Amino acid sequence: MMMEKPKTVIGVDLDGVCADFYDRMREIASEWFECPLEGLPREVSYGLSEWGVTGKSQYESLHRFAVTQRELFKTMPMIPGARKYLRLLSDDGYRIRIITHRLFIHYFHASAVQQTVEWLDSHGIPYWDLCFMKEKEQVGADIYVEDTADNILQLREKGLYTICFANSTNRHVAGPRAETWQEVYELVKAFR
């Protein structure tokens, strides 16, 4: 009996990598702060201080409103190429493992999980596993695709191959970097 070769596991973040978190959150923040959308810059740093978010408590209030009242996780646009290139990778035999830390604010986990599954299914994103967790290194992926600078640095410090999906919050993070999903695909295919 022949043993099947283990599949390469790709740990893929959602917000800022597959789903355009900042674009949708900008629309919601415009409503929350009652200011024109044009007044909120597209280029932001982690924490959204450029939009007037002044701390963790205010960010959590905005985030709670976004998820519970505006279905943030269900209504974000897809980052171009995510579906196409994840499907190509899946067809090539890679195992897609979605890893997200969407449960960091208490008391609306059911909504967050439901919206996440609905978003993935409605956008046709292929995946074998769906993990809701902060410590992403614990999912045992061979390759990670991530946009949060702290997560990237933590994964890399543990010797894990991590592709930085580029945006305005992680400009200071060294390569490997990808500006597009096509670049992610090429980096994954070149790995090993």
Give the domain CATH number at 13. 3.40.50.1000
pLDDT tens digits for range 15-27: 999 999 999 999 9
92 part of the active site = no
pLDDT band with cut points at 50, 70 and 90 for residue 55: confident
107-131 pLDDT, tens digit each:
677 888 899 999 999 999 999 999 9
| Residues 109 and 171 both lie in one domain | yes
Check 15, 20, 142, 147 and give the catalytic one.
15
User: Per the domain annotation, does 4 fall within a domain?
Assistant: no
Please state, in angstroms and as integers, the Cα–Cα distance from residue 59 to each residue in 17, 47, 49, 127, 133, following that order: 20, 7, 9, 30, 19
Say what the pLDDT of residue 3 is. Answer: 56
Residue 38 lies in a domain: yes
Are 94 and 42 contained in the same domain?
A: no
Higher-scoring residue by pLDDT: 135, 183? 183
Task: Answer whether residue 92 is part of any domain.
Answer: yes
Total domain count, the chain: 2
Q: Is 20 a known active-site residue? A: no
Task: Supply the pTM of this predicted model.
Answer: 0.91
Shared domain check, 157 and 65? no
Determine the structural domain holding residue 94 and report its residue range: 9-20+77-190
User: Mean pLDDT of all residues in the chain?
Assistant: 92
**Among 13, 20, 142, 147, the one annotated catalytic:** 13
Is 135 within the bounds of a domain? yes
pLDDT in tens, 65-115: 998 899 999 999 999 999 999 999 999 999 999 999 866 666 677 888 899
